[in-house]
Structure 1
Amino acid sequence: MTTLTRTPDTSALADGTRFLRTVIRLDAVVTGLAGLMLLATGLGAVENLSGIPLAFQTGGGAFLIAFAAGGLVLASRPRIPRGLVWAMVVVNAVWVVDCAVVLVADLMPLTAFGLVMMIGQAVVVAVFAELEYIGLRKTR
């Protein structure tokens, strides 16, 4: 008698991991570019265009570069720790909420360009948080 054994299908898990790794890398690259832009224009050009105070540009830029570096390191690991991905999702969600608070509470004297910039980054970051969440679900 022949016994059939079924091996687990790991291709779906591999595809989910590949998807998650790609999303984390893309998040890191976009975040790093945004951080570099904020730091490079810390001489006041963006402040004048956006209304975002210089201290927020330099502090935010430095944070974004550190976050991007962490994302690149995370994506390069052979096994991506789920807890660290959850931390990325939470940080991204907090960033979106912070943007909304700045807009709703009128905490900065944003120009029209600043409003578009703030809304745009909130949307992009929310998309990354959602894609990372989807990636986590695909890797269960």
Structure 2
Amino acid sequence: MATVASNVHPATDAKLLRFALKQDAIGSGAIGVVCVVVAAVVGEMFGLPSVLLYPVGVFLVAWAAALLIIAARPRVSRAAVGAVMAVNAAWVVVSVELPIAGWFPLSGLGTALVIVQAVVVAGFTGLQFAGLRKNG
């Protein structure tokens, strides 16, 4: 009898992975809503253009919804989580590059926010990786 490797894991095996995805969704959604609702105020305070914050906020709200959908599925797709981790890694790289490259006139508070959220996203990604390994 041949066995087939599965790309998904039952709900009971993915507690850490679901937790990491949901925490990522909560953080992403919260920042997204703030960016959309008060982009002008946030932009001025942090040195980011509000014209950038609106689409970033919309993306983050949609991203949060996608993360919740992935986490709520009866089986967590390793491929979907791999894609989430790749997007998160790209987000971290761009976030670290942002203050270094000087693309925007970030305030001190803006620089701190960009770095802190990059560290948090890296942490979510680490938890997601650990959840995949635990279920692997």
Judge same fold: TM > 0.5, yes or no: yes
1:69 pairs with 2:65: yes
1:95 pairs with 2:91: yes
Aligned residues: 127
- Aligned AA for 2:63? F
Q: Does the 8 Å contact 1:16/1:135 carry over to 2?
A: no
Q: Please identify the structure whose Cα radius of gyration is greater.
A: 1
Structure 1 stretches of at least 4 aligned residues deviating more than 4 Å after TM superposition: 13-16
Q: Offset of 1:112 from its aligned partner?
A: 0.8
- The unaligned stretches of length 5 or more in structure 1 are 1-12
Looking at structure 2, the residues matched to 14 and 91 of structure 1 have their Cα atoms a distance apart, in angstroms, of 23
1:59 aligned residue: 55
Partner SS for 2:76:
coil
- Aligned AA for 1:33? A
Looking at structure 1, the residues matched to 26 and 108 of structure 2 have their Cα atoms a distance apart, in angstroms, of 26
2:36 aligned residue: 39
- Aligned AA for 1:41? V
1:3 aligned residue: none
**1:1-140 equivalent positions in 2, closer than 5 A:** 16-42=13-39, 44-140=40-136
Give me the CA root mean square deviation: 1.3
TM (norm. structure 1) is: 0.87
- The unaligned stretches of length 5 or more in structure 2 are 1-9
Q: Offset of 1:55 from its aligned partner?
A: 1.7
| Identity among equivalent pairs (%) | 37
